[in-house]
Amino acid sequence: MVTVGLTFISALVGWSATAALTAYAQRRPGIAAIAWLIAALGVTVGLSAAVIGVLFDFGELTFRLLHLGVSLMGPVFMAWGAFEYAVRAPNARFTSRLFLSVFIIVPTVVLAVDRISGRFGSSFPPLAEHYDLIPRALVNGAQVFAAVLLVTALVAVARRGLRGPGTTELSVLGLLALSVLLSVLVGRVGLDAMGPVLMLGAVSSLWGAAALAAKPRRDLYDDDDDYYDDEYDDVDDELDEPQEEPVRRKRRNADPYDDLYDGAPAASPGRASGKLRGVITIYTLADGQAPGFDRLANAVVAEVSAREPDTLLFASHTVPSAPLQRIVYAIYRDELAQEEHEQQSHMLEFGRRLSAHVVATNVIELSLSDASANDGLAAMLMPR
């Protein structure tokens, strides 16, 4: 009866986690959230079948449902969700989706119809004791695929560094890796009464990872309105803290008399320097990603305006005839200003987050030899 009670508790926690993940997927829809929801549903259905199995002994149906959820659907979709959560490259994501269809559809069909041998009892039955060679090989391949996805996700987070959001990402991936490991272990060994205990840990880890991933990231790109409310509440405390300074530049070919006269002589009004640099970037957005991209663009425009005196113009435009296109153009005082702009922390963060919204990017670099503009236009586009 102890095994029955533990299995029932595991299934109950699984249904609770599935409900929570459903709410998360509705609130912040995304591929990772959907993947974790499918994983939770698969594991929970398997555990629900296991409740019947430990009560009345396992049969073919309960055995198949248990391993479809615990050995296949759960580990693969947990790992794929981790990959979608951590990896930003569109090509890598597309490749993972192609392999996912192979490692899910074929094993699911085989596990559902292949012959089962041996007699069952009331304890969790290991997969290898009742399936033949082909279904075992397919499940092994799917679990290796899950391991590759997890390792790739961990490498992607490690390459971005462990400061700031990377710490949260690493914690999420650690919980998912633990959940996958426990689920695979139960599917392979069974472990009698320990099986439902380990599955309780697997479901709890998945639930915890999704809850941690759902926690808003407090940075300038966060689209959670509550964050900005908190920021205004804490403004008095922040005034006492040192503020981040923009990257300062040292002009090339500087004249030694500039230091005596506080900088080089100002250029004549309305006339641009012959060293001006320009960049036009055309972004093609994914379906439904226009609002998210616009939030990122608005945030980075504000940061450039506040922190980059040598970025003379930085503007983002919609295209009325092409709703899924955005055009961003920038004008820099010279090549060094452009380099410093590209090294700013807000630009690096902007580039890191782009892949979630953009499917194609075209960049046109310009070297302006001559130009003019009135002061009113510059003040309107780049308020300081």
Q: Please report the pLDDT score of residue 231 as a whole number.
A: 35
Residue that has been written with the tokens 């922040």 in this structure: 238
Angle between helices 2-27 and 194-214 (to 10 degrees): 20
Q: Confirm if 177 and 217 have CB atoms less than 8 A apart.
A: no
Best mean pLDDT range from 41-50, 155-164, 214-223, 240-249:
41-50
Residue of 73, 110, 77, 70 lying closest to 96 (CA atoms): 77
Q: Please report the pLDDT score of residue 24 as a whole number.
A: 83
Best mean pLDDT range from 21-35, 170-184, 247-261:
170-184
| CA dist list (Å): 136 to 22, 107, 111, 130 | 31, 9, 9, 10
pTM score above 0.85: no
Would you call 89 exposed, middle or buried from its count of C-beta atoms within 10 A (0-12, 13-18, 19+)?
A: exposed
Every domain range in the chain assigned CATH 1.20.1070.10: 2-214
336: which residues sit within 8 A by CB, 6+ positions away? 249, 251, 252, 310
Separation between Cα atoms, residue 19 and residue 24, nearest integer Å? 9
Q: Confirm if 317 and 256 have CB atoms less than 8 A apart.
A: no
| DSSP classification of residue 240 | T
Higher pLDDT, 366 or 259: 366
Q: In what order do the strands lie in the sheet with 325-332?
A: 311-318, 325-332, 277-285, 358-367
Residue of 22, 111, 38 lying closest to 68 (CA atoms): 111
Containing H/E element for 153?
helix 133-160
Q: Residue 227 above 80 pLDDT?
A: no
What mean pLDDT do residues 243-271 have? 44
Q: Tell me whether strands 277-285 and 311-318 are parallel, antiparallel or unpaired.
A: unpaired
| CATH superfamily membership of 2-214 | Rhodopsin 7-helix transmembrane proteins (1.20.1070.10)
Q: Residue 235 above 70 pLDDT?
A: no
Among 57-61, 111-115, 215-219, 347-351, whose mean pLDDT is lowest? 215-219
Q: What percent of the chain has pLDDT over 70?
A: 78
Which tokens is 268 given?
A: 């004549």
Q: What is the pLDDT of residues 106-118, one digit of tens each?
A: 999 999 999 998 8
Q: Please report the pLDDT score of residue 377 as a whole number.
A: 55
What mean pLDDT do residues 20-47 have? 89
Q: Residue 246 above 80 pLDDT?
A: no
Separation between Cα atoms, residue 90 and residue 102, nearest integer Å? 19
Mean pLDDT computed over every residue of the chain = 81
Q: Please report the pLDDT score of residue 2 as a whole number.
A: 81
What mean pLDDT do residues 17-23 have? 91
Among 156-165, 200-209, 302-311, whose mean pLDDT is lowest? 156-165
Q: Residue 74 above 70 pLDDT?
A: yes
Q: Please report the pLDDT score of residue 260 as a whole number.
A: 41
Separation between Cα atoms, residue 222 and residue 218, nearest integer Å? 6
Q: Please report the pLDDT score of residue 375 as a whole number.
A: 57
With bands split at pLDDT 50, 70 and 90, how would you rate the model's confidence at 202? Answer: very high
Q: Please report the pLDDT score of residue 287 as a whole number.
A: 86
Higher pLDDT, 178 or 225: 178
Q: Confirm if 102 and 119 have CB atoms less than 8 A apart.
A: no
Higher pLDDT, 260 or 76: 76
Among 35-44, 127-136, 230-239, whose mean pLDDT is lowest? 230-239
Q: Residue 189 above 50 pLDDT?
A: yes
Separation between Cα atoms, residue 181 and residue 185, nearest integer Å? 6
Q: Residue 255 above 60 pLDDT?
A: no
Every domain range in the chain assigned CATH 3.30.70.100: 272-381
Q: Please report the pLDDT score of residue 337 as a whole number.
A: 87
What mean pLDDT do residues 249-267 have? 44
CATH class in words for 272-381: alpha beta
Q: Residue 376 above 90 pLDDT?
A: no
φ and ψ of 242, to 5 deg: -65, 135
